[in-house]
Structures are given as C-alpha cells and as structure tokens.
Structure 1
Amino acid sequence: MVNLQRSSLNVQLIKINLISSLLLIHLLIFSHAGQLINSYKDNVPAGYRLWSVAIAHRHGDRTPVRSFPTDTYRDPTFWPDGWGQLTSVGKERMFILGEFFARYYGDFWPDNIREFYAQSSDADRCLESAYLVLAGAFRPTGPWVWSENLNWVPIAVHTVPRPRDKLLNPSVYCPNAEKEFKSIRQSVEYQDCEKKYSKLYPMLSFVTGEKIKSMEKALMIYGTLKCEKENNLTLPLWATDLVLENLKEMHNLKYHFRYLTKPVQRIRTGPFFKDLSSRFSPEADFDRKKSYSSLKPKKWLLFSNLLSQRSKSTRSSTASNLDRKKVFFYSTHDSMIAAILSSLKSFDKQNPDYGASVIFELYRSNQNENQQLISVYYLKDSYSENLIKLKLPFCQQSTVCEFTTFMEYISTLIPKNWYKECGETMKQSDW
C-alpha cells in the first residue's frame, strides 16, 4: 500500500515537472518573439507622449585589435576578417539588437526611413554594426519595398574620418585630455591600483614577450585573450582563472580612470552632448540643416519666423511633412559608452559589453508642447533586453528629469571652443 502511494506520488511529481518545463519553454519562446517584452509605454510619464529617442550603442563582437610576441594566434591566418573586425556572432548580435528596439518601441517606431538618423565612428566594426542594427530595426513595407528577393532597404549612415571625429571617437588626438589623464595616473587611487596589480607585471612580461610595467599595458594583453576566448580558441596555460580575474578587474577600472574628471568628460563627451541637445531641442522638429542650406539670410529669417508661428499650433502635423527625425542612432565604441555614463555620473565601473546601449527618451506634454521630460536607460546586456532606468544625480536621483534641468547639466559638459579647450593648435578649417 505504501509502495503504491509512493508510486502515485512520483507520477504526480513527474506530471508537475513536465507541466512546469512546458510552461517554461512556452515563456521562453514567446519572450523571444517579443510578446512578453515590456513596451516603452510602461515608462512614459502620465500626461506625456514619447517624442524622440536617441540610442548610442557599442559595436558587436569583434576579433582582437592586436596581438603579442608569444601569442599562438598572432598569425593573421587565424583572423581572415582582419584585426578588430566584426565576427559572425557580432553581426547576429547587432541585427537582433535592432529587432529588439523595433519591438520595444512598437507603434512609436518609424515606418519611414527618413525619420531615422544614424551616425557611426569610422571603424569598420562600428559602421557594419550600424547597418546591421538598422536592418533589424526596419523591415520595408509599402513604398519602401524595392526587391521581392531582399527584405531590406538601405538607410544612410553618416561618419567622419577617425582622426577628425570628436563626436564618437573618444581617443581622437587631444593634448589636454592626455595631460589630464597623466594627472589622474598620479592620484592616490590610481597608484593604489598600480601597486595592487604590479606583482603581475613581471610574470606577464615573461610569458608574453612584452615589457609590461603598467595597468594600461597589461590591459592590451587582456583584450587579446578575451577575444580569443570568445572565438573558442584555447588560451595559454599561464592564463589561469586567477590571472584572468585580475586582468578583468584592471579592465573594468580602465574607463573609470580614463573619464574620471570633469575636464576629460568635457573634451571627450562634450561634442556628443552638443549634438544630442541639438537633436532634442524644440527647433529640431524640422530638418533645419537641410532646409536652411539653400536659403539666403533674409529668406532664412522669414522661414524661421514661419516655423516659429506654426510650432505654436500645428507643430505635430507639419513636422512629418518637413522630414522630422524621430530616432537617432550612434554606433560607437565601449570607451564612448563608458565616457557618456561617466559624464552622467552613472558609470558602474563595468566595461560596456558588445551591443551595450545608452538610450535617451524625450517626452512631451499632451497639454503644453514646450513642457518636456527626459529619461535615460542603460541596456547593459543586449541579449537580456532589460533596460535599466538610470537615476541621475543631477536630477535628484530621479529616473525622470525635467528637460531644462537636463539641458542645464549637459551644458556644463559642452566646451565653447573644443579645439581651444583641447589644446589643439589646428583650427577646424585646417582639418
């Protein structure tokens, strides 16, 4: 009798486990399909509507940027795509990232490619990532279908040569930024870290064939090992879990120190925030740059007055006719994502992963067009599809910030003359 009861109980437990497993599979399938993913509407403040979105994202998974003398995989034949190039995994990640944004923003998402604006760092991996994100984010319908065999439409991606790109390349030449970082390296906090990890340097120098006497040099080794591991290559025996953990700790501190002070933040993120503020300003309802380029000064003034008058009563209806941009994409590097977060006083000392994104949402009041709010989100893990709402210290730790308060803060990050503040002797016209 006891055995029969135990047998019956076991059968019931098996049924319960089976049902639980099926439910879990069902949830995973539908979650991946986007049916259980939260909508942007859940975060829009009451009485407001989403007006614009700006997304700065890191590129996808890549090959190593460099090697070291004793590296087994230093031969270029191991990397047929080349150094620092997007891998197949990275391409898939970025396409999926674009699909996620399209699902998440649902009915807000443009069905017109002219409502997107995309800019990229002039690195192959960033440019390719930008095109892949856009491909996932926009599937052509109606007049945008141009081929029966290819469900894709080209969307322009703008770029600037890397030596001139102060917007999305935070390593662009800048003497004063390097002077400031030199001062940071002399700080007690930095020197304490150097002392902590210095015991690793002799060993790393011996096994790699590199002269390693600083965290900056050690980090180059970690970057290579990390990429090799991600590409399923066997690491050398000396790359133990303990060694890799120490290197990872240093790696996570890299951008904490790089963008620690206000002077560096102004130089490295000022151009980005200047661009963002121009995109989010009320005047950006219209593609002014395009419209004004063909107007003479007197006509420009008349056109400006006309827009000002219309914006009071018919801004929404006229905006689409004048090619208003709703979504702005910035494809960049982990260093830029870290710099943006540091400038917003929200960096968690964790190196931004592939596809990590900082998302700015601009809301407008349903009652007053001039009343606006901003929220900032961090997509730390692109596969998680989990947007983290940032509590901004300059907005009293709130996740929703008054537009004027946000703009006042980022104005402190924008140099009046970037070249002068950078210590750059060449004028912009000399580039």
Structure 2
Amino acid sequence: MFRLVVACVLISVSLCDDLISVVVIYRHGDRTPIQPYPRDPYRNASYWPVGFGQLTNLGKQHHFQLGQWLRQRYGGFLSPHYSERDFYIRSTDVDRTLMSAEANLAGLYPPKADQVWDPTLPWQPIPVHTTPELEDNLLAMKKYCPKYNSLLTQLFKTEFFLNISRENRDLYAYLSKNSGAQIASLESLEYLYNTLYIESLNKFVLPDWTSGVYPEKMAPWARFSFATQCYTEELARLKTGPLFNEIVEHFRNATKNDGFRKFLVFSGHDVTIANVLNTMGAFEYHCPPYASTIMFELRRNSSFYLNIFYKNSTQVQKIALKGCDFDCDFDDFIRILKPVLITRKQWDLECQNSNFGDFNTIFIYSSIAIGFLISISLLWVIIACFKQVKTNSNDYTRLAIDEVA
C-alpha cells in the first residue's frame, strides 16, 4: 500500500480515491524590500516599481502559476467550480499576502460555465478572509504575548546564543558601521541580508563593503535565524500552537464527515513556513523562498493518515513529522503535536502568564496582594472609628443664648 500511495501522489492526486481533505500553507510571492537600510544606495522609492514591502508583478506571476499548479495537482479532487462549501482561504492582513492569495485564486479557480460573469475576463471574485495583524494569534502570530516575549528573551540569554553573539561581534560591528543600521542580533542580520538579496535579485550592483560578507558570511546566520521563533516546545506552543490546533480540528471534522471543507488555505510569510516546519521537527535551515508551500493531505485506507509535502520553489519533497512515518497515522499526528496544540482562548490565558512561573504562583502572589489590601482597609476603618469617637467626646449641646461666631 505504501508504494501504491507514494507512486499515486507523485504522478497525480487525481489517480487516488483516498484523499479526504487538504490544508495548504504558502508564502507570498516576490516583493520589494520592506525598509531599506539607512545607507542603502537604493533607498529612494524611485528605484522600485512599487512601494516598499509590496508584491511585484513577478510575485503575482509566482502565485498565479502556483494556483495553476495546485489546480493540476488536485484537479481530480477539487471541483473546478468554486464553492464556499468546499474551499476557504485566510491571509495575514498584509498587502503582499492578500494580493498573493488573490493571484493564486485566479490560477486555481478560473470561472467555468455559469460562473463566467464577463466573457472578456477569465477571473471571478473569491473571498479572502483576514484579521488585523495585532489581533491575529492564528496566522500572523503577532498578537501581543508577554509570556512568549519573556521566553524568547530567556532563550537569547542562554550560553548557546550568547556564544553566537560573541562569535559574530565583529561581523555585527562591521555591518552596523557600513549599513548605518543597528545590527546586533540574528534577526537584524537576517533583515539586512534579505534586503541585499532582493537588490541582487533585481540586478542592482551592491556596495563594495558587502563583497566580504554577503552572501557567504551572512547566509548561514540568516538561515539559522528562522529557527529561533519556535526553537523550543514552549515557544512553538505560543507561536504556531493555535494554527496547528486549527489544522487538527479541521481534519478531525473531516474524519467525522462533520461539515468540513475539502480545501483550507493559509497565505503567509517566510517565517510562517519556517515556524510550521520547525514545530514539526522538519526544518532544515534555509530562507523559505517566494511561494514556498506546505501541503497536508488527509487520506484514508483502513484508517486515516497524513502525508506532508514541501514545495520549495520547483521541487516537491516529502516531509515527515518528527516521531512519525511519512504515512503518519492521524491519531499519532495528534499525539505527537499535543504538547503544542492550544486553542486561541487558551492562548490568551497562557500569554498573560509571563512574570511568574505558573498559575499557582500567580494565585499565591494575588492572595498576598489581596491580604495586604484587606489589612490596609481594616486599618483605615479602625482609624476612622477612633477619630469618630474622639469627635463625639468633644461635642456639646448649644444653648439658645450661644452666638454663632
């Protein structure tokens, strides 16, 4: 059965009759730099076809072609007619991911038959759902989480990461001096590396100072930086836990045939791809390229199982969840990921638990604080009563002949 399934997948999904549901996560297409560095010779917007951080025409092509590729891959499974009962797509609330989703849908769902509403326009409107970034703990993963920030700060204070900072001290200083930006971490290094990468991709001549460091010295650390956000299980739980919980619940409904959609899509970023792979123990250090795509395929034979694929630019490779085979039993998939699975409401509660070790500690500190407030209140009542008694002892009854001063 294993050979049959793999061969079937490699040739065409349409040849298989055991595909139940698919979840797709992809990165947006080609974009301009988000923000040039202070001494960037190409920091003037006139050098770029669109604004900073925006999707380019090449990026639109990336996703239109990816949509066509997905249509070819899942043509025998996904109806050519769009239906909200079959398909749902969510994007981060960022121009380039929203536009990538729309371009992708143009390739995936060109209108057919009665869905053609303008014969001169081979396109149809399909809803792309989103949430403001700072309220999104599912896909953008940017909703404020004190506990996550505290854990990440603690991670960077470990001896391993302190050694990385010491090892790169001269490199950081060199990059800071020549770029004009403050480069003092893996994140800021990757940010600069990404800008240089985009400029070289656009055939711009890079400044002379970059020749000794880009790409050779910067690339390994830029790649490694993508592993830091989900470096530990605790970090992964608070970063990708809600997303994996959403995926698990989606597939759980599919196994029960309980009002599930056949296709669920998430339009995200390079960090989205890296974090998802890293949480599964399947991340090989790299900078996820434009339109890179992860595909979760729920299948059924004698039981339900998952196949996971990663389309890194042109190549599609099989991914195995750490601790599971490529044909990963769905129950095993849930069991392995259970430590990181978290609902969005649970996430809100856990994220506020940042300054203390656990809820018991919070209870202890809260009890102490409440006890202190009660003591102060009692003391205030005693003082007030004492003053009242003293006041009453000094009162007298005014006689009619007394004058008012």
Pairwise TM-score range, normalised by the shorter structure: 0.7 to 0.9
Q: 1:57 aligns with which of 26, 47, 54?
A: 26
Q: Secondary structure of 1:276's partner?
A: helix
Residue 379 of structure 1 is matched in structure 2 by 311
Of stretches 157-166 and 131-140 in structure 1, the one that deviates more from structure 2 is: 131-140
| 8 Å Cα contact 2:32-2:55 kept in structure 1 | yes
Q: 2:97 aligns with which of 98, 119, 126?
A: 126
Distance 1:362 1:241 in 2: 47
Distance 1:172 1:186 in 2: 23
- Tell me by how many angstroms 1:117 deviates: 0.8
Residue 170 of structure 1 is matched in structure 2 by 141
What is the letter of the counterpart of residue 401 of structure 1? C
Do residues 72 (structure 1) and 45 (structure 2) align? no
Distance 1:142 1:287 in 2: 29
| 8 Å Cα contact 1:415-1:421 kept in structure 2 | no
- Tell me by how many angstroms 1:183 deviates: 1.6
What is the letter of the counterpart of residue 377 of structure 1? F
Q: 1:405 aligns with which of 299, 307, 332?
A: 332
TM-align CA RMSD: 2.1
Distance 1:286 1:390 in 2: 26
Aligned 1:10-409 pairs, distance under 5 A: 38-40=11-13, 49-114=18-83, 115-240=86-211, 242-282=213-253, 324-365=260-301, 371-381=303-313, 384=314, 386-395=315-324, 398-409=325-336
What is the letter of the counterpart of residue 403 of structure 1? F
| 8 Å Cα contact 1:68-1:74 kept in structure 2 | yes
- Tell me by how many angstroms 1:341 deviates: 0.6
Q: Deviations over 1:367-391 (max 9, x none)?
A: x6xx31111111112xx1x321112
Distance 1:260 1:242 in 2: 26
What is the letter of the counterpart of residue 147 of structure 1? D
Q: Deviations over 1:44-78 (max 9, x none)?
A: 6xxx6001111000000111011122111112222
Paired positions, count:
341
Question: Gaps spanning 5+ residues in structure 2: where?
Answer: 1-9, 355-405
What is the letter of the counterpart of residue 69 of structure 2? F
What is the letter of the counterpart of residue 280 of structure 1? F
Residue 341 of structure 2 is matched in structure 1 by 414
Indicate the structure (1 or 2) with the bigger Cα radius of gyration: 2
- Tell me by how many angstroms 1:41 deviates: 5.6
What is the letter of the counterpart of residue 347 of structure 2? W
Distance 2:82 2:257 in 1: 15
Q: Secondary structure of 1:85's partner?
A: coil
| 8 Å Cα contact 2:21-2:254 kept in structure 1 | no
What is the letter of the counterpart of residue 212 of structure 1? I
| 8 Å Cα contact 1:198-1:214 kept in structure 2 | no
Q: Secondary structure of 1:260's partner?
A: coil
What is the letter of the counterpart of residue 70 of structure 1? R
1:269–1:214 Cα change, 3 Å: closer
- Tell me by how many angstroms 1:260 deviates: 0.5
What is the letter of the counterpart of residue 91 of structure 1? K
What is the letter of the counterpart of residue 40 of structure 1? V
| 8 Å Cα contact 2:135-2:142 kept in structure 1 | no
Distance 1:284 1:38 in 2: 25
Distance 2:255 2:261 in 1: 8
1:174–1:67 Cα change, 3 Å: same
Q: Secondary structure of 1:110's partner?
A: coil
Q: Deviations over 1:215-265 (max 9, x none)?
A: 332222212111212222221111116432221111101121221101110
Residue 389 of structure 2 is matched in structure 1 by none
- Tell me by how many angstroms 1:334 deviates: 0.8
Distance 2:257 2:56 in 1: 38
